[in-house]
Structure 1
């Protein structure tokens, strides 16, 4: 390419960017080049093309014939036309500070991104072929995804969701195993502007009923309309339809992606809800933590700053994708920093824990995370031959979190794997919770664990962490979890909410940009979460030492006996070490004695032992362990079979649920799968019957509606077409539409009708359904000329009916014909008629107000008439997309005050468009699909200018 051609291209693309930014304010501009399709990719409608050509002629001083201007599909076509006419090249100037060097694949961080879909888009545009995810297999050659494949799959899932009527702010449940489909679904839901709700699949058949009832409660609370399932969980999804009233669709990822074109990304804002993270529910029914895009990105950036994350790292994870540590910490964090992620399923880890360590070895991973039990399992259960030749020297940060960290585990893991290259400085105990996205406190890099030894009696009686002497035989040991992340704060308060001194135990509170705004549809729980001065209650007990956090237990799990505070986790860990007791399957709690009313200390432990002599030995071992720690034995020791102790999705003990089973005498009971399914079906039967009744009612309504069309509307339409005079036909069509609405009960309910001028004007309305025309015709008096797409002319019967009703066509693709049609439509206003436009240009099944085309507003400024904004509500709920099945409902129409043009040029039309759209957006009750904050300079960066 010659220098002259390059300068022409740069100048022309600058003009294209200017016009696009004015037509679609703030919407991100595609990566423009010589071969960009000006209609399909750049989004230039007919009037946008006209405006572009006017600016081209003014900038380059030459005139391009109409035939060539109209026929030009790409900038390359226009460049050739300009070169043939001797156009002078124009240098493009931009401020030096606005330039941004193209990031390399190894140094990518989208610092300006405000949402997670923007992060994905940013990486796909700049390093689309860079692999971001690899699924683990033992050969090390598992399938994976690059950024572009992930974006494409997400866009296809989004298209499938939109076909099913799922739009912005709808909640979509995901019950998927670790695999590529999860990532397509999770990002696809957000790509569609909806809110994903990750759920954990059933694991224990013996607890299937309890699990699905809890999940049903989650779906009901979230108002979930769509359930994305795997082949294995589709049946579970169908069962849940009886437990969640709003659940309409149970669908797989392949079904969503089948036969659809990728959907455009729905613009979202930083403070929009990104997804709902339901708490694991150790102390009750799970609560939906609301996390915005801003919360998540603030947390990811803060964690990345502390650990000095970069795309030179490599992350290995087996953590479940429905848990915040695995989803946010591992998957979203690595996506943000473009860190390659090797991912295995939790089942792969549990089957052979050494796989985790060998994956770190094979991929020379630098980052990995796990709960304490995983480190304990590897330290105590792996044989020497399992780790022979293992090299962990590449591992620079080993996050240990998601459950209390055991000092013994830290020591045993560091000691066991030190000879394999694992540095003690690598071990990093961290603290976080869903209410703070995931991370809240991290220790300094390369420090290693800090274990605090405090006097047991003083701490248990007075809550003061007094350092213990080195010869103290039974000190309390607490692990430091670091300081608050950058931009976040921690404090410890007493029962009255007053901050306490260092090394004094109290309730841990926090605040910062990662913090949730509350629990979804749960105002009572949200109110308890926040203190009067804006701090959030973690529900944990802790103390601070010079800003360093030491967790001591959960508030609700604290056991008080004889003036001393006992902490279940310490006893559970001690009992778990007893041979014959299943590790991490022990629950300790207090329960009232039904005879005396006093509190009993209860230890429930799982074991596979069945012989009575052996069980007695285990009971004595449990009693001895408790005596050694607490100087008092438990009143009740209950040894139960495996899978009896209830757990959360992340493997934490659900002590309140275990206590409830113990008090009901149901601990260790086996529940047959068939009986559980029958109970679930019985529980869901009333909801399924209500669904069936609604379907019958809708069927009868549609039968009545079509009878009305055949008996009343169709004959009246024929009569209307035969009548002379537009005003008479308009009156008859309005009478017919009104009667049809009255007889069907659909309305419309009209407000603001007095705002409609008597004279000519341009009426613009959002387009939600094919019922809109009927509703507007019934609601608005007088002659109303509907501007329709010219493709309707190809359907002679329909076009005859619409033309006789006063419609006029406008071409959308042939630019010369489009201008001629618009002129013809404007001529109708000379006789005092009103033009009726749907400026979105089309409709979709999913709710949302799309960007407005400028034609209606150019007609208004050219003729000097006002624009009347009108909003219509309810029609989409009655008739979605291209369906013929109408739901009972009622349409409402609101007429706004006329907006008069301020000038007669392009800028006046754009101003008029924005004012009308803002009013309609405020009144239509649907989310905004047409705006996205971005400066013109940012748009220029996208094309490298």
Structure 2
């Protein structure tokens, strides 16, 4: 058994990878239109009905012939075909009609009529198209991993510098075509997304929802958020219309917890995303990734640090209490490097993955790991795998892949499909690591997979069960490469009663089997402790704890769960396990354990067995404990979904469940509850929500079933009324604030202008300006905080500052109590309002585009400096709406060198957020001013001015936290 993050069953999460589409507004009419097409080919319709009927009878054998299938039967409500049954149905239709139906039908098809219409529209494939391609790809030159990189953005930048045209990802589409993505293309696309997000008002550290399927836009959007200084929060795109409401409510809970202000999606799921906009009042913008394509790219990424948050990975959980694992750049790179070290990863590897990109195993383990090492990543949409599981292995064959990964059910699907697939030319000999994780690993699955595909080159030692969790980025324990799987058989009763994993006798038919998940990754530690926190010896079961550089700092905005996560410097995994021979053996989840009669009972084994009984919906069984008010003890409760209604059939099924419980646990359930389909609650990744099932049981809400899409949309729209009203109220508040801000500015200007023009003394004018500026910012709610590394010198100096907004000069006036002689652009001298105002303050005007005039103006500034004036200068000469520090003109530094006076570097932050260039709706924001230590010139020549400029610019850039735009050309207005 192993677990990679919260994805105990990735099968449900890959259903939600909306690579097909979800056009909510068109769904009902589309179904009707398709139904009208059906009579064109009655033979196709009849054959489809036969295939669906046969599958229904197999999945729900106890229904016999009572279940009538029509063209308009709902695949969900009427026929209860879950994700895996739909996958099997698509495979059978493809084989029967010799077509390749679109993968999106897994989620879009609502009735057999939809399937018939799709078959009629699809051109039959030829025998040639069915044959896999062959031939080894050309070898790629080796590259060095970016060992100096402290962040993901630095890792990408290193590859862009070293080999910009190297293909990083080949995105494989459902039709077999592939779309390459080079490092440069990823970088350029991410810069455009970053610029677009900054245009929308993104601030450093803002969380951005990324609801995109496995497509090119996901990769560029993920790094675009990082480039803009934001934090990506990947969430599941909706896929199945029948589950739309439940899905969107869960994602809304995540977005609320993350306090996401922007959601990036695509055109196909935009309608559903707009419903999220209504459910989450703090979600200000829902945008498509394509809307950023024509945005001028950000010149350079926003600066970040190793300790900055790079990702919030939400684990499966309830809607009301989602857990967002906070992971820094350092956490992710530490995990990637540790996994790579354990696997011997290099740029010569080829990784094939169909895993969803919003799960850590697919996102971090496969994609970001490939990016770091410069390995080629072949990424397939999850629906392509579900529609044709063997496409996974054929892709390994085509690209001579060396590494791949999947949960246990993926290997089972391949085994099932391989029975009817031609495999003569399949070659899996290139694989050196096949990781099996993300859900319990079955020893039987491993053995059968090795036996089935061993004749086609799969080496037994390539199979590697692994263990990890989102709280440790992705991976925690890996087996040594080339060792092969180890299965431990232990006696059932000593483990259940005493927690001792005693090796079972060879003839013990009741023995339990657990798969070794390897040893801790380099730099990480694992221990097993008892209830008192004392470390246990080998082969004694207890709580698994871990620590290491990949470990999270906690859950986002969830202090209670964060406190429960830590035991001193150790983190709780939430799993029970034992150690034997240095290997980790996972026995189950702590929260799912039921204590009964002095024994520890794990429900999964019983759930799996009951799910295989005739009449029970497989994967729709919950076993949990519920308190008995009469005795004060716990009752063992079984909740199972069924469509049976005949009392005699239900009675036989009840006896079968009792017999199963007796044979497996030696205990009978206290209560068995039969519920209609879609009652047993599940997480978005397909795990049974046993605590939610217990709540349903204890409150008596034992009803289920899926509602029509129109009702789901109506409820979601109604639920979005209050959030929309809150958002509208917030916008009105913003408009009211802007009106107040401009009114206040007008009043301040009307008061200060005549005073500055009429007061007889310059010192009085400057003090009045400073007082008025401070009063304006106070009344406007733009608090100014000042931090000084050293006191300002008494004599003359040149104070230079970065320029971000029209407000910067007012900020300096409010900051420096004795006033400054501002160096202003010459264009202001001729303005009717600004000209007289600045001249009365003693401003020195300089020409920026007239070389000869600029030299003369610089001499005027030098004269002012020699006259003991304190100059205020913006050496960038202008400002832009884009964050970043532009190149510095030399005038201020020439003056400082010639006058032998110091430069005072000042960094202003926050004014761009209040009033950005081209923006006329000011926002409430704080302002910070950092006054650096005086920098004395080291000479009077040109070289001294250059040195002084570079030193001052470096100081401001360090404090600013924005990109370096040294090489950016900006036309002066």
User: Under TM normalisation by the shorter chain, which class is it?
Assistant: 0.7 to 0.9
Q: CA deviation at 1:400?
A: 0.6
Is contact 2:487–2:515 with CA below 8 Å preserved after alignment?
Answer: yes
Q: CA RMSD in A?
A: 3.7
Q: Does 1:415 align with 2:451?
A: yes
Q: CA deviation at 1:592?
A: 2.6
Question: Would the alpha carbon gap of residues 104 and 179 (structure 1) be closer, same or farther in structure 2, given more than 3 Å must change?
Answer: closer
1:647 paired residue number: 682
Structure 1 residue aligned with 2:663, among 624, 628, 640? 628
Structure 2 residue aligned with 1:350, among 365, 386, 409? 386
Q: CA deviation at 1:171?
A: 1.7
1:395 paired residue number: 431
Is contact 1:851–1:929 with CA below 8 Å preserved after alignment?
Answer: no
**Separation in 2, partners of 1:417, 1:668:** 44
**Separation in 1, partners of 2:877, 2:379:** 44
Question: Would the alpha carbon gap of residues 871 and 128 (structure 1) be closer, same or farther in structure 2, given more than 3 Å must change?
Answer: closer
Is contact 2:790–2:931 with CA below 8 Å preserved after alignment?
Answer: no
2:635 paired residue number: 600
Secondary structure of the equivalent of 1:384?
Answer: coil
1:546 paired residue number: 581
Question: Would the alpha carbon gap of residues 736 and 676 (structure 1) be closer, same or farther in structure 2, given more than 3 Å must change?
Answer: same
Alignment of 1:427-826 (within 5 A): 427-532=463-568, 534-578=569-613, 581-593=616-628, 597-606=632-641, 618-670=653-705, 672=707, 673-707=709-743, 713=749, 717=753, 730=766, 733-734=769-770, 737=773, 741=777, 759-788=795-824, 802=838, 805-810=841-846, 821-826=857-862
Answer with 833-842 or 473-482: which moved more: 833-842
**TM-score after normalising by structure 2:** 0.77
Alignment of 1:124-523 (within 5 A): 124-205=160-241, 207-281=243-317, 285-380=321-416, 382-385=418-421, 387=423, 389-523=425-559
Question: Would the alpha carbon gap of residues 756 and 146 (structure 1) be closer, same or farther in structure 2, given more than 3 Å must change?
Answer: closer
Question: Would the alpha carbon gap of residues 816 and 496 (structure 1) be closer, same or farther in structure 2, given more than 3 Å must change?
Answer: farther
**Separation in 1, partners of 2:822, 2:645:** 81
Is contact 1:397–1:427 with CA below 8 Å preserved after alignment?
Answer: yes
Give the paired residue count: 825
Q: Structure 1 unaligned segments of length 5 or more: list them.
A: 1-102, 933-945
Is contact 2:902–2:937 with CA below 8 Å preserved after alignment?
Answer: no
Is contact 2:884–2:965 with CA below 8 Å preserved after alignment?
Answer: no
Is contact 2:903–2:952 with CA below 8 Å preserved after alignment?
Answer: no
Q: CA deviation at 1:322?
A: 0.7
Is contact 2:638–2:672 with CA below 8 Å preserved after alignment?
Answer: yes
Secondary structure of the equivalent of 1:552?
Answer: strand
Answer with 258-267 or 834-843: which moved more: 834-843
**TM-score after normalising by structure 1:** 0.79
Is contact 2:675–2:704 with CA below 8 Å preserved after alignment?
Answer: no
Give deviations 1:786-810, integer Å, cap 9, x for gaps.
2345676898876676556544455
Q: CA deviation at 1:579?
A: 5.4
**Separation in 2, partners of 1:284, 1:709:** 44
Is contact 1:867–1:916 with CA below 8 Å preserved after alignment?
Answer: no
Is contact 2:905–2:955 with CA below 8 Å preserved after alignment?
Answer: no
Give deviations 1:150-193, integer Å, cap 9, x for gaps.
11111111111122222432221111111000000001111222
Q: CA deviation at 1:622?
A: 3.5
Q: CA deviation at 1:818?
A: 6.0
**Separation in 1, partners of 2:317, 2:944:** 56
2:872 paired residue number: 836
Alignment of 1:70-81 (within 5 A): none
Is contact 1:156–1:256 with CA below 8 Å preserved after alignment?
Answer: yes
**Separation in 2, partners of 1:615, 1:232:** 43
Q: CA deviation at 1:441?
A: 0.7
Q: CA deviation at 1:514?
A: 1.4
Q: Does 1:885 align with 2:921?
A: yes
Question: Would the alpha carbon gap of residues 821 and 665 (structure 1) be closer, same or farther in structure 2, given more than 3 Å must change?
Answer: farther
**Separation in 1, partners of 2:906, 2:506:** 79
Question: Would the alpha carbon gap of residues 854 and 452 (structure 1) be closer, same or farther in structure 2, given more than 3 Å must change?
Answer: farther
**Separation in 2, partners of 1:608, 1:347:** 28
Is contact 2:792–2:934 with CA below 8 Å preserved after alignment?
Answer: no
Q: CA deviation at 1:466?
A: 0.7
Answer with 637-646 or 285-294: which moved more: 637-646
Question: Would the alpha carbon gap of residues 860 and 219 (structure 1) be closer, same or farther in structure 2, given more than 3 Å must change?
Answer: farther
Secondary structure of the equivalent of 2:321?
Answer: coil
Is contact 1:452–1:467 with CA below 8 Å preserved after alignment?
Answer: yes
**Separation in 2, partners of 1:526, 1:642:** 35
Q: CA deviation at 1:628?
A: 2.1
**Separation in 2, partners of 1:227, 1:138:** 26
**Separation in 1, partners of 2:779, 2:302:** 38
Q: CA deviation at 1:318?
A: 1.1
Is contact 2:171–2:378 with CA below 8 Å preserved after alignment?
Answer: yes
Secondary structure of the equivalent of 2:668?
Answer: coil
2:33 paired residue number: none
Q: CA deviation at 1:362?
A: 2.5
Give deviations 1:721-778, integer Å, cap 9, x for gaps.
6888866764665566466557656576889899556643222345443222233334
Q: Structure 2 unaligned segments of length 5 or more: list them.
A: 1-138, 967-973
Is contact 1:373–1:584 with CA below 8 Å preserved after alignment?
Answer: no
**Separation in 1, partners of 2:506, 2:373:** 44
Q: CA deviation at 1:642?
A: 4.8
Answer with 394-403 or 765-774: which moved more: 765-774
Secondary structure of the equivalent of 2:454?
Answer: helix
Question: Would the alpha carbon gap of residues 778 and 502 (structure 1) be closer, same or farther in structure 2, given more than 3 Å must change?
Answer: closer
**Separation in 1, partners of 2:854, 2:560:** 57
Secondary structure of the equivalent of 2:421?
Answer: helix
Is contact 1:762–1:837 with CA below 8 Å preserved after alignment?
Answer: yes
1:943 paired residue number: none
Is contact 2:491–2:501 with CA below 8 Å preserved after alignment?
Answer: yes
Question: Would the alpha carbon gap of residues 707 and 481 (structure 1) be closer, same or farther in structure 2, given more than 3 Å must change?
Answer: closer
**Separation in 2, partners of 1:473, 1:745:** 74
Answer with 553-562 or 870-879: which moved more: 870-879
